[in-house]
Amino acid sequence: MMETVILPLVLGIIEGLTEFLPVSSTGHLLLAGHFLGFESEGRTFEVVIQLGAVLAVLSVYAAKIWQVFSTAPSSAESRRFILAVLLAFLPAVFVGVLARDFIKGVLFESPRLIASMLILGGIVLLFVDRLALKPRFDRVEDIPVWRAVMIGCIQCLAMVPGVSRSGATIVGALALGASKRAAAEFSFFLAMPTMAGAFAYDLYKSWDSLSTDAVTQIGIGFVAAFISAVFVVKGLLGYVSRHGYALFGWWRIAVGVLVLGVLGIA
């Protein structure tokens, strides 16, 4: 009961709450699983349940997504935005496919690496948040295609657990001229193809080895991630517009230091 239902439920909630915050959902999942004694088959659970968070974005942004695609035939801005997101997604495809076994077999198994990346990423987030950057792009649609591709390249740093996909894309977008709100929103949109692709590829590679219990765990985590992520997506843009990202930087540092301390004692 604990292994099949309770732990996947808790981990799904953690995934949904952290996926779109710049704190590394994968890092939090892996560390929570390490200390709770949960280890999924082939680490597929930790990857696949992210699609629940993607569906949360789709549900919240359904009207905007429809507006972009429905106006694409007549709107150059809509076509440019679609192209920007798709091109920004491609670097993660190449790196993810080529390095999948190393990422899941080596990097996912190092709690100390994850904790260290949480601390380092927190310091970077605090530094960037305090810079007197003057935004050039207040709307997510205004981010140029070539800058979007650069953000996509920066997103690849998040293949290292603890770095944070949303954190890497947000910091990259801020450094390249996006406002705090636009940076967070672009991270949302880039998450859709990136995480959907990771879901499809990992499930394809792992499907034959999944047991009935593993499928049940994934289903529970998936639903929990969707529900909890909806609340984060709805509230994050308003929060960062008013307060910035400092809170998340300090959270990363605190969690990283705590984990290193516990691992040192153990």
pTM: 0.86
* pLDDT tens, per residue, the chain with 266 residues: 667 788 999 999 999 999 888 999 889 988 998 888 887 776 788 888 888 888 888 888 888 899 999 999 999 999 999 999 999 999 998 998 888 888 877 788 889 999 999 999 999 999 988 887 889 999 999 999 999 999 999 999 988 989 998 999 999 999 999 998 899 999 989 988 888 888 788 777 777 777 788 888 889 999 999 999 998 888 887 888 888 899 999 999 999 999 999 998 75
Yes or no: say if 12 and 220 are a contact pair by the CB < 8 Å rule. Answer: yes
pLDDT of residue 1: 63
pLDDT of residue 78: 94
Round to whole Å and give the CA distance between 232 and 249: 17
Cα–chain center distance at 73: 30
Yes or no: say if 174 and 30 are a contact pair by the CB < 8 Å rule. Answer: no
pLDDT of residue 220: 92
pLDDT of residue 248: 94
